[in-house]
Amino acid sequence: MALVPITPESHKVQIRLAYASSDNFTGRPVYARADCYLLAPAEILLRRAVDLAAAMGLGVLVFDAFRPSEAQWALWNHTPDPDFLADPRRGSPHSRGVAVDLTLTDQVGGGGNELDMGTAFDAFTPHSHHGFMDISAEAQKNRAILMGIMTSAGWDFYRNEWWHYQMFDARRLYPVLSDSVLPRPMMPQVSLLGAA
């Protein structure tokens, strides 16, 4: 099954891959290239979510999608926190090409401001849990809208991260994929597997 490129032009989304810059919890780029992909079944669900958001006057901003297994190891080696990162020995739904990290914006089709979700993306704190109530009413509402859009589009959610959605039965149905499956590598030439 092929990975499908996700672009602002083809999918009417904003893309700001956190791990392609130093603006992530590691403090440095993990990806050498900011290319965004999903497996074909997940790409279909993303299109559905974008259409549902657009019907509400909202846009979608993608923080991460397919994450090569090498990148999952780099993240885990930096912060081995099983509440917020999948152990790469089990494999992440991201490394299977069937998970997406995203938020909503106040403008359809790209551009616009992020809606308040109560925390930033990748805030490794209980405040990021879907059921956490000690955030503003506006942030609670926005999280509920995001979850409604994503679950209506066919996605499953991860209870600890308001931004993370994945296909059902991801670990059972889809294999872990490495950087080698891509037409152009996302990972730097120097391995990050030994990074602290």
Per-block mean pLDDT, blocks of 10 residues, the chain (196 long)? 94 97 95 97 98 97 97 95 92 97 93 95 94 95 98 97 97 96 87 45
- Dihedral of CA atoms 55, 57, 62, 65 in degrees, nearest 10, equals -10
The confidence score (pLDDT) of residue 6 equals 98
Residue of 43, 70, 138, 161 marked catalytic:
161
Pick the CATH number of 3-181 from 3.30.1050.10, 3.30.1380.10, 3.90.45.10, 3.20.20.70: 3.30.1380.10
Query: How confident is the model at residue 189, as a pLDDT?
Result: 72
pLDDT value at residue 196: 38
Asked if 114 is an active-site residue, the reply is no
Domain boundaries of the chain, sorted by first residue: 3-181
pLDDT of residue 1: 73
pTM of the model: 0.94
Q: Which long-range contacts (CB under 8 A, 24 or more apart) does 89-92 make?
A: 90/171, 91/171, 91/176, 92/67, 92/176
